[in-house]
Chain A
């Protein structure tokens, strides 16, 4: 049997808006993935550490406070610094269109705003997971 895709759904920073993270976590689980949800108030260190400990294939970051240019990039930078290149990073939240190219350049492979169909996230992960 094929190994299930393991996803860490993470809430970086102080933002408490967790509706989207929880909805996506459930949708991924219902799509047959193994999902670990970090809970709130995670630093980049905590997220990367959990990702390593849990041996995940994907990190899904959720942030609605507007601090994504700092906090998403902190995570991708730390992954690079630690030589981890087999984890797919995706993000979602309130992200203006003009920030997306820079986030992609920094290693956030997919960015999903309000109104995204859950299946689009599932399909994106299935297509792009690095293994």
Chain B
């Protein structure tokens, strides 16, 4: 049965019944006498205006579009249920969002330098991009790593690389987000072990591991193990996290990649929240108390081109999450509030006239901020061509600083709250999300829907439609299908240290020779045994990490026990 999207439909947003009747009448007069007359001589540019999710947008929104909303219950106040207006009572008046630039390339040494550069220029949180071998749990010298070292992120094959990556960076003060999924537990282990070796208590370190395997099957595709053992590992990190590393966000449930793969905003919202609910159910099934682990769940969304649709998406996400967590039994307010990171949409960047990407990124960043994001990455103008150069990354960071310091948008909480259009759209997206929840339910839940290729097909369909709209000029992309120039692209491209790979491979060889071999073999054997049983694997993984077992070696043990996932190829 279709669930009613809103909590209560008794009241109205801002005005009394009598007033509303009056507005309704006036609006109908206006439509007849003013609007209709006007368009007879001055027609609108298009027959139909639609947003990126394909929703038709009307010419005007008025109190008549929000009559079903009850201010207290459906909109409310920031820091209180349903958290539509924000998760904190003061939002950016208290503290600005964290400016967290996703970066990583080449060797740990090079990326360490980039982090120091970004910190020097005012970024306030770190975010690690790993290369493909690392994302798949292979060491740099594995045969499948060929050609990939350091290409789309930094290579981290052992605790030693993690030590170098954060050398001279105060990880007791700054928080770090790590985009890692299949081998998330092991890479988190590297981070914890590195902190401990530096004399920092694991209970005090803060950060996030992405650790969201469901969206890997759905969209991003850097999975390793099949769903069942992957979910087990994730619940292991939830449990270990709230007990041992309580300031850590043990998951960042991600819509970003779903959107990048081509979904609409509504699909991003629906599929991501569906994944989030699935994780909660698995953890409850394990016997964890929802109010222990739920406060450490976090989210990650995309910010695409349709400005208001993006803002409505974030607002709807918070309200849905609060309601659903309540239904799942959460009692603490902290469990109900959705904190999220945002990244501007990489897929909207153009390789043509790359400098104009700065403007796209500015609008997308502004949408994320007006939507109440907790942290933000702004893409660099050159990312449709290569990894960002130092200067391009700095300009992207400056974009956030200009919004924060100069624009005044952070002076009040949820400045667009109460806009007839925004509230209508927020509500509409919520309703469509529940339609998707119902569809997934009918397919037997999230994992069966993945196995049936449901999400993958929905996304491929939307991606193709979007591309065709651009090809057919139904949608204008500046510099691509209109406003083009013949000017040659002259943007400087990042050059990596050519010696990086060799240095990394030599380091790995030396590590394997110098470490205490019986200790690392024992730790891997213990992990194997634990993986075959049902104990929480985090302590075993930490033992492996501390004994300098490499990422590849540790992951191989888990590959042996759990097997590997192979996806059906659907297009």
> Could you tell me which A residues sit within 8 Å of B by CB distance?
9, 13-19, 21-23, 25-27, 37-40, 43, 64-67, 69-71, 74, 94, 96-98, 113-115, 117-119
Contacts and interface: CB of A to CB of B under 8 A. Distances in A.
Interface in B457-487: 460, 463-464, 467-468, 470-471, 477, 479-481
B148 A13 contact: yes
A38 B569 contact: yes
Interface in B522-538: none
B481 A117 contact: yes
Contact of B571 (A21, A64, A97): A21
Contacts of A16: 216, 220-222
Contacts of B387: 66
7 closest Cβ pairs, A-B complex? A70-B147, A16-B221, A39-B569, A66-B151, A67-B147, A14-B132, A22-B571
B464 A26 contact: yes
Contacts of A23: 262, 460, 463-464, 467
Given A15-B132, A66-B152, A98-B493, A26 B571 contact: yes
Contacts of A115: 350-352, 384, 477, 479-480
13 contacts: A16-B221, A21-B571, A25-B571, A43-B144, A65-B148, A65-B152, A94-B383, A94-B384, A94-B385, A96-B385, A113-B385, A115-B351, A118-B467
Contacts of B151: 65-67
A117 B468 CA distance: 9
Contact of A97 (B385, B463, B479): B385
Contacts of B52: none
Contacts of A27: 464, 467
B567 interface: yes
Nearest to A68: B147
Interface string B136-164: 10100000111110011000000000000
B149 to A, nearest CB: 9
Contacts of A25: 571
B351 A114 contact: yes
B393 interface: no
Interface residues of B, number: 47
B513 to A, nearest CB: 27
Contacts of A94: 383-386
Given A65-B148, A71-B147, A114 B132 contact: no
A38 B570 CA distance: 10
B371 interface: no
B349 interface: yes
Interface string B205-234: 000000000001000111000000000000
Contact of A22 (B148, B351, B383, B460): B460
A44 to B, nearest CB: 9
A19 B456 CA distance: 10
B260 A19 contact: yes
Nearest to B477: A115
Given A23-B464, A66-B152, A113 B384 contact: yes
B58 to A, nearest CB: 31
B23 interface: no
A66 B352 CA distance: 18
B34 interface: no
A23 B467 CA distance: 8
Given A19-B261, A19-B463, A96-B386, 4 more contacts: A14-B133, A14-B144, A23-B467, A67-B148
A114 B133 contact: no
B347 interface: yes
A15 B222 CA distance: 8
Nearest to A113: B351
A38 B361 CA distance: 34
B316 to A, nearest CB: 24
